[in-house]
Structure 1
Amino acid sequence: MTPEQLSQAVRDVLAAATDEGDITLPGGVPDEITIERPRNREHGDYATNVAMQLAKRAGTNPRALAELLAGRLREVAGIDRVDVAGPGFLNITVSAAAQGELARSIVAAGATYGRGDVLTGTRINVEFISANPTGPLHLGHVRWAAVGDAIARVLEAAGAEVTREFYINDRGVQMDHFGASIMARAHGQAVPEQGYHGEYITDLAQAILAARPDVITLPDDEQLVVFREEGYKLQLAEQQRQLEEFRTHFDVWFSERTLHDSGQVEHGLDVLRKHGHLFEADGALWMRTTDYGDDKDRVLIKQDGSYTYFASDTAYYVDKRERGFDICLYLLGADHHGYVGRLKAMAACAGDDPDYNIEIPIGQLVKIMREGQELRLSKRAGSMLTLGEVVDAAGVDALRYSLCRYPADSPLTLDVAQITKQTSDNPVFYVQYAHARLSSILRNADELGVDRGELRPELLEHERESLLLAALGEFPRVVATAAEYREPHRIARYLEETASTFHKFYDVCRVLPMGDEEPNDVHRARLWLVEATRVVVANGLAMLGVAAPERM
């Protein structure tokens, strides 16, 4: 019996008591009843304070309401005992058979177990990398590449329709500096003072010359355009390749240029004008974001008639909303903390609810250490450590899991040796090893000719079996909470606790027969439990974009 099933049982009991006149409940039965695991197992399998929450509304005292509910709950199939504690807590003990049925449900659900519908019907745009196509993705992008993708996966697991979006900063003077840098290398000249350095610029020049040997015969202004645009295509393709190898897929690669080329910037400003928050002053066009808590109003069009970056940001937000997204998530780096107020104010100026339609989580910096030294410099990119080099140093699984394991809003230091060592004190190894061990048990069962057969759930009555089943039953709630708070680290920490619970179960509960022992129904029931645990661990790792190995 899962916490969700118990919650529904309490709702049903409340509804029946109301219908039969035992209680009056103005406002009706709550949509959700909180069911928790008590810290002390002597207090039962689950507990709820629903009587304390509803007593005042029901016109009675918590203890009396708890006693009434306890009497009715004792009649529910699968509930062994209900005790009233303290001022009105309900402590519930479920039967081994009801608890054991969870194993069957999990195995039947397979890859869908843990998924819910709390966000069904909600369209969410998650923009979690915004970068110039002028160089490799660097360490600053690594955290959001992992965490942003995990957030998207968790939101999908909660039922949302999610679009992952990469914003390409492909407009502005930096693109000309990029083209001039490649052009200089193609001619064997020094890179201009404001240009881009690193071996990758030389590589791009050579690739363009190989594809377009005639380019150096063109006039300089035409050469610049060719080197800029061809370099742009090559570098963007390299960013896409590296992200795919990091298991970070984007549904949309949105070009900043298209906002301006398509007239979307002007359209975005027209939308704002309709809401009455634009004004002209000092020869410039402004948005009155101070109406919604921003520290100052923001310029959209400067005195010289050029658009500001904030004008692009505004048009981009309007474009997302007009594409039908209910919620726009902007996952920004630590150096963008000042953007939160202005972006929320901008959404309000566009007529939206800044507390719902737009979210701006801020991710803090990451340091990567190796042999006591911080990794900073890149062999290919000069002053910055690239995503590819970090992945080469740590590996995709170790890096993704370690980045997702901590709240994104806290600074993080990772040691390559620590996150890649194959010992139980390395969390990613510990969880992956649990999955490999579970898979090994199932393989061994196949080799011995022991199948799960028909589950007899009442045989899963050992304390360690009960604890493991309870842990597995928590997974859907952990996923829903991770989605609600945009915190995939909750999944990682849950997996570690569940792996520990499994190892303790396996230490004392023999799953397979020994020697000439004939397999019995206890063995088979425990195989159901092992397969259910394997499903949960695999599903949790998938939500983090981490592999679930069958052998280690």
Structure 2
Amino acid sequence: MTPADLSLTVLHAVRRAVDEGVLRVEVPSRVKVERPRPGGVGDYASSVALGLARPAGRDARDVAAILKDRLREAPGIRAVDITGPGFLNFTLDAGDGTGVLREIARTGLAYGHTTALAGTRVRFHASTEPRAALLAETAAALLRAQGADAGIDTGLGDDQDGDAERLPALPAPYEPHLLGVDAARWALLRPAAHDRALPGAPLLVQHERNALFRVRYAHSRARALVRNAAQLGFAPSYETADAYAHTHARAHASAPAPTAAPAHAPAPPAPLPTLLGDHPAVLLLAARHRAPDRVARHLEAVADALLAYQHTVLPLGDEKPSAAHRSRLALAEAAGTVLAGGLSLLGISAPDQI
């Protein structure tokens, strides 16, 4: 189950409660799900009950309990917990991780591309400022990946420049002649538009402190793992949940107990399967908010999770390839595909070897 699937499932539970007369509220157009904050549990969380509490005239925890009853048997959800003032926390079935991997294998670089914004038409102002122009070009690509009709207003034909959307950005030069296309684009797109562009020189250094290098290196490692596995006589397998269960269990075993986390503590890093499942939602939000930096940050998280996981993929010493190795290889291959697809939307190359 992807975050988008979970969002629709929760929305359906709200609609059921309203149709049954248990909740007297207007059904929202969408429900936001995200990774749990400190003090939460499970894979994802939603604050929908808190938003419905006041219009329903009920306590948020009561609203959460009503929704929990209607989510208890939903396919793909193993457990629903209520935490804090009324947050719903979801633990997904581990086996669903293979569904995400199979979807990535099926769609390839287009994983996360949807028709969610079909029927939406957006034209961006053709700015002469380099960073604003690059931001508009990339935002248009993200919107098209979600089914929108998006492009840059040329001032010709039916396009009227006065109606075009302007994307404000802190000005910065675009310098592919000095940095190369990849580093030049990352320098302008990785920070939020209102933040300063990244200095170019550090992006040319092949070092772990360079996030662009980590992302592209992680992609090359994923491809190398598949090549190395072929030399050992085995290929990725998408038939079992071993890879998902392995990282899912390890991440939860190492996470601190929810009651021990102070309110200001950052959330623990998400396991690789969760990050891959998040990818479609990240692309959709990046398109809606015209925020390529969201994609870049997500790719960094995927890369870091893959680099921390890669040592488990191939057999060691005299160890023979097993079903677990084949499923872990599928997870690594899927991560490489997500990295390549995300970089492509940013206009950045993903070399197979670095």
- Once residues 549 and 537 of structure 1 are traced to their aligned partners in structure 2, the CA distance between those partners, rounded to angstroms, is 11
- By how many angstroms is 1:423 displaced? 0.9
Deviations 1:376-419 (A, max 9, x none): xxxxxxxxxxx7xx433211111111121123334436243x12
Among residues 84, 90, 93, which one is paired with 2:91 in the alignment? 93
Q: Decide whether aligned partners of structure 1 residues 148 and 358 sit closer, same or farther in structure 2, where only a CA change above 3 A counts.
A: closer
> Relative to structure 1, is the Cα distance of residues 163 and 87 closer, same or farther in structure 2, using a 3 angstrom cutoff?
closer
Q: How many residues align?
A: 334
For the 8 Å contact 2:50–2:60, the answer to whether it is kept is yes
Structure 2 distance, partners of 1:117, 1:90, is 28
Q: Which amino acid aligns with 2:319?
A: E
Change (3 A) 1:514 1:118: same
Return the offset for 1:42: 5.9
Given that residues 402 and 428 in structure 1 are in contact (C-alpha distance below 8 angstroms), is that contact kept between their aligned partners in structure 2? no
The reply on whether 1:529 has 2:314 as its aligned counterpart is no
| Structure 2 equivalent of residue 405 of structure 1 | 190
Q: CA–CA distance in 2 between the matches of 1:400 and 1:95?
A: 39
2:166 pairs with 1:360: yes
Q: Is the 2:242–2:328 Cα contact (8 Å) retained in structure 1?
A: no
Asked if structure 2 preserves the Cα contact closer than 8 Å seen for 1:512 and 1:523, the reply is: yes
Shift in Å, 1:100: 3.7
Offset, 1:129 = 4.5
Which residue in 2 is equivalent to 1:422? 206
Q: 1:105-137, CA deviations, whole angstroms, 9 ceiling, x for partnerless residues?
A: 22222122122333211222234354xxxxxxx
Asked if the contact 2:132–2:167 (Cα under 8 Å) also holds between the matched residues in 1, the reply is: no
The Cα shift of 1:433 comes to: 0.5
Is 1:4 the counterpart of 2:4? The answer is: yes
Which residue is equivalent to 2:278? Answer: 474
Mapped contact 1:83–1:90 kept (Cα < 8 A)? yes
1:32 matched to 2:30: yes
Question: What's the Cα RMSD here?
Answer: 2.5
**Is the alpha carbon distance of 1:11 and 1:448 closer, same or farther for their aligned partners in structure 2, counting shifts above 3 Å?**
same
Q: In 2, are the aligned partners of 1:98 and 1:458 still within 8 Å (CA)?
A: no
- Rounded Cα–Cα distance in structure 2 between residues aligned with 1:525 and 1:161: 38
Q: Which residue of 2 aligns with 1:155?
A: 143
- Which has the higher mean CA deviation after the structures are superposed, 31-40 or 533-542? 31-40
Give deviations 1:22-52, integer Å, cap 9, x for gaps. Answer: x13343x322111110134861111112122
Q: Where do 5+ consecutive residues of structure 1 fail to align?
A: 131-139, 166-253, 255-315, 329-346, 348-356, 368-386
Identity across aligned pairs (percent)?
37
Secondary structure of the corresponding residue to residue 137 of structure 2: helix
SS of equivalent residue, structure 1 residue 414: coil
Alpha-carbon distance in 1 for matches of 2:68, 2:98? 23
The equivalent of 1:48 in structure 2 is: 46
User: Hey, what does 1:170 align to over in structure 2?
Assistant: none
| 1:51-76 Cα distance to aligned partner (Å, 9 max, x none) | 22223333432222212222232212
Q: Equivalents in 2 of 1:41, 1:506: separation in Å?
A: 29
Q: Residues 58 and 42 (structure 1 numbering): CA distance in 2 closer, same or farther, change over 3 Å?
A: closer
1:154 CA drift (Å): 1.2
Q: CA deviation at 1:532?
A: 1.4
TM-score by length of 1: 0.56
More strand by proportion, 1 or 2? 1
Q: Cα offset for 1:546?
A: 0.3
- The answer on whether the counterparts of 1:482 and 1:488 sit within 8 Å (CA) in structure 2 is yes
Distance 1:411 1:515 in 2: 48
- Find the aligned partners of 1:458 and 1:514 in 2 and give their Cα distance: 18
2:17 match: 17
1:443 is aligned to 227
Partners of 2:296 and 2:140 lie apart in 1 by: 15
Matching residue within 145, 161, 177 for 1:392: 177
Task: Tell me, in whole angstroms, the C-alpha distance in 2 between the residues paired with 1:64 and 1:408.
Answer: 40
Letter paired with 2:96: A
1:513 to 315, 334, 347: 315
Rounded to whole Å, the distance in 1 between the matches of 2:29 and 2:98 is: 27
C-alpha separation in 2, matches of 1:362 and 1:64: 43
Task: State which of 69, 72, 93 in structure 2 corresponds to 1:71.
Answer: 69
Contact 2:18 2:25 in 1 (8 A): no
Runs (4 or more) in structure 1 with deviation over 4 Å come to: none
Counterpart AA for 1:359: E
- List gaps (5 residues or longer) in structure 2: 252-269
Q: Distance in 2 between matches of 1:110 and 1:506?
A: 20
Inter-partner Cα distance in structure 2 for 1:74 and 1:518:
41
Question: Quick one: which amino acid aligns to residue 366 of structure 1?
Answer: A
Cα shift at 1:525: 1.4
Quick one: distance in 1 between partners of 2:243 and 2:351? Answer: 30
Q: Quick one: distance in 2 between partners of 1:362 and 1:14?
A: 37
Aligned 1:203-242 pairs, distance under 5 A: none
CA distance in 1, matches of 2:49, 2:40: 20
CA distance in 2, matches of 1:360, 1:479: 20
In structure 2, the CA distance between the partners of 1:457 and 1:116, relative to structure 1 (3 Å rule), is same
Q: 1:79 to 1:513 in 2, by over 3 A?
A: same
Give 1:454 shift.
4.4
Larger Rg: 1 or 2?
A: 1
Specify the SS of the correspondent of 1:91: strand
**Structure showing greater relative contact order (alpha-carbon pairs closer than 8 Å, 6 or more residues apart):** 2
| Structure 1 residues 412-433: Cα deviation after superposition (integer angstroms, max 9, x where no partner) | 36243x1211111112111110
Q: Relative to 1, partners in 2 of residues 1:415 and 1:471: Cα closer, same or farther, differing over 3 Å?
A: same
